[in-house]
Amino acid sequence: MTIGALASLIHGVVDGDSDIVLSGFAKIEEADKGQLTFIANPKYAHFIESTKASAVLVSKEFDHPNPNSVTLIRVDDPYATLAEILRAIQASLPKKKGIQQPCFIAPGVEIPEDAYVGAFAYIGEGAVIGKGSQIYPQCFIGDGASIGENCILYSGVKVYAGCQIGNNCILHSGVVIGGDGFGFAPNPQGGYDKLPQTGIVVIEDDVEIGANTTVDRATFGCTRVGKGTKLDNLIMVAHNVEIGKDNVFAAQTGIAGSTKIGDCNMIGGQVGFAGHISVGNHNEIGAQSGIPGNVGDGQRLMGYPAVDARKFARNVVYINRLNELFKELNAKK
């Protein structure tokens, strides 16, 4: 479509030629004629001087030299607008339907007409598959497990028996839902006896889980991931963990057993949560932080043990100066 037509759909203001036809997307440093790109982070603003893109999504406040006179589409939030465009395009693409062979679907399991089951998938007894859901090849859906409507389970996803996936969820390749929690009791012989894990996992609506992330079943009751929460790749959620709604967790985060995390938290990569603690709402926790105890609401934390992010930054400055300070101290002796 033309730049003008696109701008009208996204309520943008065109600064340049609105009649140019767009045919694709690209990163700003790689874009070519006919492609749309965007600038959301100011550190990429200088690419406006060299990009070959036909149009660039920018904020309404964007102010930078534009010697190429590339056409700008000014919007309130370029990144959010790009996401809106991409979602609309993805929604317009045809979805897979039908059942590929060979696969195993237990007798009595009904597959909706608009659903898709890929080759070599296994769907156990009593499982439920919602309307419009897509089960890609080599997925495993255990006995009594349920998959909601309009879900996507990419190749190799495993959903153990009894676990529940809500509506509009996306599980990427290698996700394991419902593996046994890490429960072992020491015995008199110095070894460990397995404590059977009899609970389930409940994934609420609109959750997305990245590749090779695992969510363990509860010892009793359920491990829960709340509505709208997003888990990155390579995350470990232990047994009986309860995660609230609209959280985002970056890769390699680990959450130990029975920890409760509230709503709307932003968690950086490689953060470790101790077990049996409580974390409130609207917190921001920096990458590689360790959380050994309870956290309230609205905090910005970093480090191990995690402290206020500003305090952590000051401590780093002090630590970096230790060698210099010791030299000065020794020189005075």
Show which residues are catalytic.
Answer: 239
**Burial degree of 208 (CB within 10 A; 0-12, 13-18, 19+):** middle
How far apart are the C-alpha atoms of 56 and 72, rounded to whole Å? 5
Q: How far, CA to CA in Å, does 265 sit from each of 6, 45, 231, 241, 305? A: 34, 29, 12, 15, 18
Q: Cβ neighbours of residue 83 under 8 Å, at least 6 residues apart?
A: none
Token pair of 157 as six digits: 């996803």
Q: How far apart are CA 160 and CA 174, in angstroms?
A: 13
CA proximity to 273, closest of 245, 298, 297, 242 = 242
Could you give phi then psi for residue 292, rounded to 5 degrees? -90, -15
Q: Are 271 and 288 in contact (CB under 8 A)?
A: yes
Contacts of 319 (CB under 8 A, 6+ apart): none
Distance CA 3, CA 58 (A): 13
